[in-house]
Amino acid sequence: MIEQQENCRPAKVIGPLGEPLTLDSLPPSDTTRWVVRRKAEVVAAVNGGLLSVDDVCSRYGLTVEEFAGWQRAIDRSGMPGLRVTRIQHYKTLYERQQKF
């Protein structure tokens, strides 16, 4: 009989700045000020399997669409794409690239 592991999540993942991230080192669940680094850490936690998207949305009170926007921003432009002041710039740049 094959036994399944109940928790097959890693204990830590590599964060956006190369540092190890654990559940305890992630931003607190009551975070309201989302700076670029915190967003990138949460995305790295999901990408590394530390948390699921549902876990993140529940823990931080985010919508799936909001979190997916963070993931897209990182995929397209890296951490600078997460800056709120640059969202329109990167969105326009990405749309322009898609036309050619």
Give the model confidence (pLDDT) of 5-44 as tens digits.
446 889 999 999 999 999 999 999 999 999 999 999 999 9
Question: Above 70 in pLDDT, residue 91?
Answer: no
Q: What is the phi/psi pair of residue 79, to 5°? A: -60, -35
Residue 45 confidence (pLDDT) above 60 = yes
Q: Is the pLDDT of residue 87 over 60?
A: no
Q: What are phi and psi of 86, to 5 degrees?
A: -110, 0
pLDDT above 80 (res 85): no
Provide mean pLDDT across the span 74-95.
74
Following CA atoms 62, 82, 33, 56 in sequence, which dihedral angle do they give, to the nearest 10 degrees? 30
pLDDT band for 94, please (50, 70, 90 cuts).
low
Is the per-residue pLDDT at 54 higher than 90? yes
Q: What's the predicted TM-score (pTM) here?
A: 0.78
